[in-house]
């Protein structure tokens, strides 16, 4: 009888030990799954916070709050200008499940400077003025006489660099532009427009504002009424009607002159140049510092 009692007690003890081992294993398994899910949420929350920073950089720098989603996570980012500088304090919080992570950055815009555009017309070659073309400054007394070409506002045989003027490379600006391959825009245009290798003269009508870049020759026999910056990577020959407030630059080969004839009226205007540069100033700003809070 005693032997049977001992065997029963031993059996119960074995069952107890196995139950404890099983419970411990299950607890560890559940805890491991919980930790794995939490770790996944932590990673996704950090990625979402980074996505918020990127959303601010993608032309939302002037927005006070930017929100959005990425995958199963959400983000909310705030942007505040530091004084009157070109630096912005950006804080972004990403949330996935019950986990939130916050990233703090300082972002700087490109240092675009309208004063680098010193002239109404600037060319790397000789400028030939014909017809009734005029070049003057925004403070010139009105009305401006026909054929009035103030030497303070045009410069020929000049040296300048696209990257230095715009603080962006040609590839960067082109990536921010509406691109026209072998054709001209027409009607009202705004923003940043890039014309690639035009095969014929411009004969239509364009009016608007912003930045117009011509990767090739610009020969105008139509009408352009434009505020901002026109940059030509080739021959510039304006024989039609051009009314430009801002600046025209021609990066021409040494064998071709820049020619302004017909009815060409160019006013160097720093305010309009700055408004054009602001179209790219806030695009793809640089991250100066980064830390997780």
pLDDT of residue 84: 86
φ and ψ of 85, to 5 deg? -85, 180
Query: Do 211 and 195 form a contact (C-beta atoms < 8 A)?
Result: no
The domains of the chain are located at: 2-108, 114-280
Q: Average pLDDT of 90-119?
A: 94
Residue 271 has pLDDT above 90, yes or no: yes
Q: What does the block give as tokens for 214?
A: 């011509």
Distances (CA, A) of 13 to 21, 23, 86: 12, 15, 74
Give the Cα separation of 50 and 102 in Å (integer): 9
Could you give the CA distance from residue 162 to residue 171 in angstroms, rounded to a whole number?
Answer: 11
Q: What is the pLDDT of residues 117-163, one digit of tens each?
A: 999 999 999 999 988 899 999 999 999 998 999 999 999 999 999 99
Mean per-residue pLDDT for 98-103?
94
Kindly state the percentage of the chain with pLDDT values over 70: 86
On average, the pLDDT of the chain sits at 88
Q: How far apart are CA 273 and CA 227, in angstroms?
A: 8
Write the pLDDT tens digit of every residue in 240-249: 889 999 999 9
Residue 9: per-residue pLDDT: 66
Question: First CA to last CA across the chain, in angstroms?
Answer: 70
Cβ atoms of 218 and 206 within 8 Å: the answer is no
- For the stretch 194-240, pLDDT in tens is 999 776 677 778 899 999 999 988 888 888 999 999 999 998 888 88
Judge whether residue 2 has pLDDT over 60: no
């Amino acid at each position: 009888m005693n032997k049977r009692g001992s065997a029963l007690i031993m059996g119960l003890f074995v069952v107890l030990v196995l139950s404890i081992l099983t419970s411990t294993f299950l607890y560890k398994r559940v805890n491991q799954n919980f930790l794995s899910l939490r770790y996944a949420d932590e990673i996704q929350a950090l990625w979402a916070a980074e996505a918020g920073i990127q959303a601010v950089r993608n032309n939302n720098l002037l927005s006070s709050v930017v929100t959005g989603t990425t995958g199963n996570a959400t983000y909310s980012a705030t942007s505040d200008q530091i004084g009157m500088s070109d630096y912005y304090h950006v804080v972004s919080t990403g949330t996935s499940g019950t986990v939130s992570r916050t990233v703090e950055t300082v972002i700087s815009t490109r240092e675009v400077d309208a004063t680098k555009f010193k002239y109404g017309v600037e060319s790397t070659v000789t400028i030939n003025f014909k017809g009734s073309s005029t070049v003057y400054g925004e403070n010139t007394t009105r009305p401006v006489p026909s054929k009035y070409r103030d030497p303070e506002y045009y410069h020929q045989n000049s040296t300048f660099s696209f990257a230095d003027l715009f603080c962006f490379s040609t590839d960067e600006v082109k990536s921010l532009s509406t691109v026209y391959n072998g054709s001209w825009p027409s009607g009202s245009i705004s923003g940043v427009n890039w014309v690639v290798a035009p095969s014929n003269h411009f004969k239509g009508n364009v009016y608007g504002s912003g930045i117009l870049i011509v990767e090739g020759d610009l020969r105008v026999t139509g009408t352009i009424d434009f505020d901002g910056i026109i940059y030509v990577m080739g021959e510039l020959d304006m024989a039609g009607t051009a009314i430009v407030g801002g600046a025209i630059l021609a990066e021409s080969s040494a064998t071709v002159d820049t020619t302004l004839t017909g009815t060409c009226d160019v006013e160097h205007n720093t305010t309009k140049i700055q408004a054009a540069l602001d179209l790219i100033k806030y695009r793809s700003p640089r991250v100066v510092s980064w830390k997780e809070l």
